[in-house]
């Protein structure tokens, strides 16, 4: 009887210690190292395509997923290989490759799977966007711990990965879990006396595991070196200032003149193979997709009301004023909706900060107040381009991302890219595509060449001409820039002479400069998100690049 009582007491004590873990004790910085530098560079294979027992496989240094599916129909492959994860793609006409997307979190990762001699289609999924981690350091910031409540944010020493957006923080006994809703990664940890065992998963499938110990030193993040200079022209003064951090967080500078790359350089560990977050610079790509759809007569006119493209549930928002919101007003930021992203002082009802936290972005945007008659005054706001994505999704006969890939990216020979989506998995036209700087340069050259790439017409000459027109000046931006179809306009001075440009621009300093008079395209990518230097590329362009281009 005494032994039985002791056992019961031990069970109670064990249970109490397990249930009594307070997250306040774990509120700290934790650190470890990822097992190897390529653990997130996942090999993707499709075997036995066209047969009932086809296989979709994902692996790194070990097998992670082996999913069996029926692939008798190869018109569009749809493979739900794990809960909340899927692959969707097209088999090429010659059968040599599959172009498609892995949907993971809020991202669509484009993959090109090439057929090998043994009839297996193979490609690489760079889950963290980078081709290999230059730093294997892994950190975890556990914050605001109290009882079972906490937040936890994973941080990688290689900061070329743009970071996680974590949520859904759960705790049960000594187990914690949370999700990065951007990449779709799941984190599952076990709390121990002086460490945390943390697994990183795709759904229920483990990619890798780390054992974290409390940090005792400052975290080492970034500070990576690049050696990727390919140049015909010399920009030594610009390079000197970038390397001494006087032009901080500049990641890449590329220049093409008359279709030939004359300068290409990377900094802070970046290289030609890493897709960069374009932020709102990808709005100009969204404009190109609208143009392609118009060129294919998938809709009648840019003067069509947005309500022609919206499901019945949203028609209740149609009134005499909002019915005048047409495609052109959305392209030119002149919808009249209170959608201001730029002026921090005004909490606009349909700004990104207001509609993105809601469950139905379209509903929130359409409920916003009207501050102007459509097509009369322009105010920069991402809600305008977001609605364009919803409209284009309604007119194409296939998933919008596959349409974009087939008619734009494949035509430009672009395959290493990522598309951010909205909550419904539709490509987000408000910004957030990831392209390599070289591919951004290609896109700029498409517009410089009036819609042609390598002598092949991709966009109509008329659409490019209409896109570059100055419709309105943006009233809510400091410089009151002229604006076209999701393209900015600007004027620079060199030796007293005005040089006009048309630009794709994104937060943090993501720029594509198209300079028709010089037959030149310049791409600059940066990481200036919180230091008020988001327009630094304009300084670099005017002071350190344009004088050389004019020589």
pLDDT tens profile 76-104: 899 999 999 999 999 999 999 999 999 99
CB-based contact 42:127 (threshold 8 Å): yes
Query: What distance in Å separates the CA atoms of residue 213 and residue 304, rounded to the nearest whole number?
Result: 59
What's the confidence (pLDDT) of residue 309?
98
Mean pLDDT of 255-268: 96
And the tokens for 41? 């560079």
Q: Distance between CA atoms of 177 and 279, rounded to whole angstroms?
A: 29
In the predicted structure, residue 17 carries a pLDDT above the cut 50: no
Count of CB atoms situated within 10 Å of the CB of 137: 16
* pLDDT at residue 2, as a whole number: 58
Mean pLDDT value across residues 440-453: 98
Question: Is residue 344 very low, low, confident or very high in pLDDT (cuts 50, 70, 90)?
Answer: low
Whether the per-residue pLDDT at 12 is higher than 70: the answer is no
Average pLDDT value for residue range 269-283: 97
Residue 8 has pLDDT above 60, yes or no: no
Mean pLDDT of 308-330: 97
**Banded model confidence at residue 16, pLDDT cuts 50, 70, 90:** very low
**pLDDT tens-digit series, residues 493-547:** 998 899 999 999 999 999 999 999 999 999 999 999 989 999 999 999 999 999 9
* Both tokens assigned to 70: 């029926």
Per-residue confidence (pLDDT) for residue 511, from 0 to 100: 98
pLDDT (0 to 100) of residue 13: 45
- The mean pLDDT of 287-298, rounded to a whole number, is 98
Q: Which residues of 485-517 are buried (b: 16+ CB within 10 A; e: fewer)?
A: bbbbbbebebeeeebebbbbbbbbbbbbbbbee
Q: What is the pTM of this model?
A: 0.94
- Strand ranges, E, within 11-130: 28-33, 41-47, 54-59, 63-69, 77-82, 85-91, 97-104, 107-115, 121-126
Q: Which two tokens stand for residue 190?
A: 């076990």
Mean pLDDT of the residues in the chain: 94
C-alpha pair distances (Å), 109 with each of 99, 381, 466, 535: 11, 26, 31, 28
Domain limits, the chain: 21-37+132-214, 41-126, 279-436
Class of domain 279-436: alpha beta
CA 201 to CA 209: how far, in whole Å? 9
């Amino acid at each position: 009887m005494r032994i039985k009582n002791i056992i019961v007491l031990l069970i109670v004590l064990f249970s109490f210690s397990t249930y009594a873990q307070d997250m306040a004790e774990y509120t700290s910085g934790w650190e470890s190292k990822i097992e190897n530098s390529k653990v997130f560079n996942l090999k993707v294979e499709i075997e036995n395509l066209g047969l009932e027992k086809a296989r979709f496989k994902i692996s790194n240094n070990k097998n992670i997923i082996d999913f069996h599916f029926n692939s008798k129909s190869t018109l569009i492959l749809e493979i739900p290989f794990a809960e909340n994860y899927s692959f969707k793609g097209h088999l090429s006409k010659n059968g040599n490759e599959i172009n498609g997307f892995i949907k993971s979190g809020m991202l669509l990762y484009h993959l090109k799977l090439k057929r090998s001699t043994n009839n297996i289609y193979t490609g690489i999924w760079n889950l963290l966007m980078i081709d290999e981690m230059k730093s294997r350091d892994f950190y975890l910031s556990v914050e605001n711990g109290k009882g079972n409540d906490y937040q936890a944010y994973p941080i990688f020493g290689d900061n070329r990965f743009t970071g996680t957006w974590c949520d859904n923080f759960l705790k049960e006994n000594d187990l914690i879990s949370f999700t990065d809703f951007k990449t779709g990664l799941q984190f599952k940890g076990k709390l121990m006396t002086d460490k945390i065992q943390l697994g990183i998963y795709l759904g229920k499938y483990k990619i890798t595991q780390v054992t974290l110990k409390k940090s005792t030193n400052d975290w080492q993040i970034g500070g990576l070196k690049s050696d990727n200079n390919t140049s015909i022209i010399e920009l030594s003064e610009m390079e000197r200032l970038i390397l001494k951090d006087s032009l901080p967080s500049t990641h890449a500078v590329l220049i093409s003149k008359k279709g030939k790359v004359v300068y290409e350089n990377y900094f802070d560990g970046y290289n030609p193979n890493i897709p960069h977050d374009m932020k709102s610079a990808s709005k100009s790509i969204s404009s190109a997709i609208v143009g392609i759809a118009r060129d294919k007569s998938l809709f009648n006119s840019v003067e069509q009301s947005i309500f022609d493209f919206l499901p019945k549930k949203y028609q209740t928002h149609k009134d005499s004023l909002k019915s005048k919101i047409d495609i052109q007003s959305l392209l030119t930021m002149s919808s009249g909706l209170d959608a201001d992203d730029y002026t921090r002082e005004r909490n606009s009802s349909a700004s990104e900060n207001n509609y993105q936290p809601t469950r139905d972005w379209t509903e929130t945007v359409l409920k916003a107040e009207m501050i102007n008659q459509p097509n009369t005054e322009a105010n920069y706001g991402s809600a305008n381009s977001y609605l364009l994505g919803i409209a284009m999704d309604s007119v194409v006969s296939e998933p919008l991302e596959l349409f974009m890939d087939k008619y734009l990216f494949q035509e430009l020979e672009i395959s290493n890219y990522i598309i951010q989506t909205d909550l419904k998995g539709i490509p987000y036209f408000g910004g957030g595509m990831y392209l390599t700087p070289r591919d951004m340069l290609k896109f700029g050259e498409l517009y410089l060449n009036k819609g042609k790439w390598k002598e092949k017409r991709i966009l109509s000459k008329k659409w490019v001409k209409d896109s570059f027109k100055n419709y309105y000046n943006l009233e809510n931006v400091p410089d009151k820039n002229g604006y076209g179809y999701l393209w900015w306009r600007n004027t620079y001075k060199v030796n007293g002479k005005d040089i006009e440009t048309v630009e794709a621009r994104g937060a943090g300093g993501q720029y594509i400069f198209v300079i028709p008079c010089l037959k030149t395209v310049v791409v600059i990518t940066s990481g200036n998100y919180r230091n008020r230097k988001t327009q630094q590329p304009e300084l670099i362009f005017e002071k350190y690049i344009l004088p050389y281009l004019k020589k």
